[in-house]
Structure 1
Amino acid sequence: MPADWRDLVALTKPRVLTLVVFIGLCGMLAAPGHIHPILGFAAILGIALGAGGAGALNQWYEADRDLLMKRTANRPLPAGRMLRETALHFGVGLSVFSVLLTGLATNWLAAGILAVSIAFYVFVYTMWLKPRTPQNIVIGGAAGAFPPLIGWAAVTGDIGMLPLALFFLVFFWTPPHFWALSLFVRMDYANAGIPMLPVVAGEVVTRRQILFYTSIMGVAAMAPVLLGLTGLVYGITALVGTLVFAAMALQVSLRREDDPANMKPERRLFKYSMLYLFILFGAVVADRWVLAA
């Protein structure tokens, strides 16, 4: 069965890919030093292909579960538009090529971090954590936190304090982001037998955990300016953006299960959480450029 190019693109999870590429690009632009534009483009392409390959392998492994969830039932594999072997070969090919491209275009530290991020997402998160523990998102959050390190290492050949701070920002952002989603698709996860926190511990506990991790995320968001790694442009942006995030998380945490059909606050928090990272990482770049001017 020949695969349609649109289904191959869908395997890469394009919406997730956009955020991954953006935060990787910001890690590169915030790094000290310079990189040739062509090599920089190759590094960002490597991050995109690596993330796309990991997404394809995730869908290859979870095809049977995806069929049981309304949100994912129309993906190429559960919908029967593609052979599983095609997704496997596509995912492996993209992943291997992305690491080789990054290593040859920049350096092998950046390539190594990219390889670790792909392996972590596929083997640790997808195959091990997700089907076994409600802490899957907490630990698995590391998978999406590597791009700032990759972008920075592509330019500098090392790992600095700022990309590490950004790593932990994404790491602690992940639980409230995904738990907000899991609240309004809880039945999907239950039907597929995935032990997401709302399925295992209930909505009340999940709402409290969203607020708890939002508070930790807030500390991580302010860490770059408190440590003197960024200036006021980032500091003010992070403070205002985090206060908005916290207000939304508080609203979600105070709600109860008496109206499961009304999930507008949860949906707002989920959507804003995506915008939040775009804003903060953009502010990191703007701040570095202001300081350099």
Structure 2
Amino acid sequence: MDVALENRPETGRIGVVRKIRAYVALTKPRVIELLLVTTAPVMILAAQGIPNLWLVLGTLIGGSLSAGSANAFNCYIDRDIDRVMNRTQKRPLVTGELSDREALAFAWITGIASVLWLGFLVNWLAAALSLAAILFYVLVYTLVLKRRTPQNIIWGGAAGCMPVLIGWAAVTGSLSWTPVILFGIVFLWTPPHYWPLSMKYRADYQSVNVPMLAVVRGRTVVGLQVVLYAWATVACSLLLIPVAPMGVFYSVVAIASGAWFIVESHRLYNTAIRHGEVRPMRVFHSSITYLTLVFLAVGVDPLLPF
């Protein structure tokens, strides 16, 4: 019998608070936090000022439900490999804090709720984009790409770019080149953000035959890809300056933080070439800080007079 299954507690003995925490964990709240960081600033840019705060709140709640649903479906589908990998052994379907049926019901309910919430309280374009994000993450990334190709995180990452489109659509009711470029920033940023993580947990992914790039290629190749995508991400962020257009504040932040992100990426690659001790999590955390700074600048820049 699987050791993880033997150690699973009886779900009936779990208290209400612990059960609630398990449902929250199922949504991967740290992932949702990062998605929300990209949504609110885009709404400020779209409005060229502070948008209606009820609209912002409604969009953030709907977006959180959407992301939570997609993540819950992901946990349900990947529960077999989550029981094997060390990184995921505290997830509620592995520990037994939630049953498979509870997780699946929660995923469906939050997904339907997100679409209806955004449709009736924001607009139906935002709702359609939310539905597209859930379907893409679950059907395309989790079911088709993740276990079949090292390109999984490149194309699967498109689902994580949808919040910028949802935020823009919530304010304007339409889409334009500006949100497309913002989408591109997150799309190009996702591989150099996630590949360092997959380098750290290479043994985990290898144990469950998930072909992350770090599993099927050497760390020099992974390091080079991280560098190339970091450069592409920064270049895309600079495209926003003439298109939006953005002011001095955004320009300075995008250039300075982008230079730092590129330097950290090159450091990872150079260490891999020299066969030294690679510290991929340094790039992982740097990428999060970089994206946060860029999108904070997206939200602050329209509020400044220069």
* TM-score (structure 1 length as normaliser): 0.94
| Counterpart residue type for residue 116 of structure 1 | A
Confirm or deny that 1:271 pairs with 2:274: no
Which residue of the other structure, out of 215, 224, 232, is the alignment partner of 1:199? Answer: 215
Superposition RMSD on alpha carbons, in Å? 1.7
Confirm or deny that 1:31 pairs with 2:46: yes
Runs of 4+ displaced beyond 4 Å? 257-260
How far off is 1:231 after superposition? 1.3
**Map of 2:3 onto structure 1:** none
How far off is 1:216 after superposition? 1.0
Q: What is the CA deviation profile of residues 25-69 of structure 1, one whole-angstrom value per residue up to 9, with x for unaligned ones?
A: 112121127754223311110001110111111000000111111
How far off is 1:146 after superposition? 0.8
Confirm or deny that 1:208 pairs with 2:224: yes
| Counterpart residue type for residue 203 of structure 1 | R
- CA–CA distance in 2 between the matches of 1:153 and 1:129? 28
- CA–CA distance in 1 between the matches of 2:31 and 2:218? 27
Q: Which moved more, 1:58-67 or 1:196-205?
A: 196-205
Structure 1: unaligned runs, 5 residues or longer? none
| Counterpart residue type for residue 143 of structure 1 | A
How far off is 1:141 after superposition? 1.5
Structure 2: unaligned runs, 5 residues or longer? 1-10
How far off is 1:159 after superposition? 0.8
How many residues are matched? 290
- CA–CA distance in 2 between the matches of 1:183 and 1:86? 33
**Map of 2:5 onto structure 1:** none
Residue 101 of structure 1: SS of its match in structure 2?
helix
Go from structure 1 to structure 2 and tell me whether the alpha carbon gap of 1:276 and 1:77 turns closer, same or farther (over 3 Å shift): same
Go from structure 1 to structure 2 and tell me whether the alpha carbon gap of 1:258 and 1:222 turns closer, same or farther (over 3 Å shift): closer
| Counterpart residue type for residue 115 of structure 1 | L
Which residue of the other structure, out of 287, 296, 299, is the alignment partner of 1:285? Answer: 299
Report if aligned partners of 2:70, 2:137 keep a CA contact under 8 Å in 1: yes
- CA–CA distance in 2 between the matches of 1:124 and 1:196? 16
Q: What is the CA deviation profile of residues 68-123 of structure 1, one whole-angstrom value per residue up to 9, with x for unaligned ones?
A: 11110111111222111111110111011011000101110011011101111111
**Map of 2:21 onto structure 1:** 6
Report if aligned partners of 1:27, 1:147 keep a CA contact under 8 Å in 2: no
Q: What is the CA deviation profile of residues 118-137 of structure 1, one whole-angstrom value per residue up to 9, with x for unaligned ones?
A: 11111111111101000001
Residue 236 of structure 2: SS of its match in structure 1?
helix
- CA–CA distance in 2 between the matches of 1:109 and 1:240? 35
**Map of 1:73 onto structure 2:** 89
- CA–CA distance in 2 between the matches of 1:216 and 1:150? 23
- CA–CA distance in 1 between the matches of 2:128 and 2:75? 23
**Map of 1:159 onto structure 2:** 175
- CA–CA distance in 2 between the matches of 1:250 and 1:149? 31
Which residue of the other structure, out of 195, 201, 215, is the alignment partner of 1:185? Answer: 201
Confirm or deny that 1:57 pairs with 2:73: yes
**Map of 1:234 onto structure 2:** 250
> 1:168-179 residue pairs with structure 2 within 5 A?
168-179=184-195
Residue 88 of structure 2: SS of its match in structure 1?
coil
Q: What is the CA deviation profile of residues 136-179 of structure 1, one whole-angstrom value per residue up to 9, with x for unaligned ones?
A: 01111111011111011111100122211110000000000000
Residue 174 of structure 1: SS of its match in structure 2?
helix
Residue 6 of structure 1: SS of its match in structure 2?
helix
Report if aligned partners of 2:115, 2:128 keep a CA contact under 8 Å in 1: yes
Report if aligned partners of 2:42, 2:167 keep a CA contact under 8 Å in 1: yes
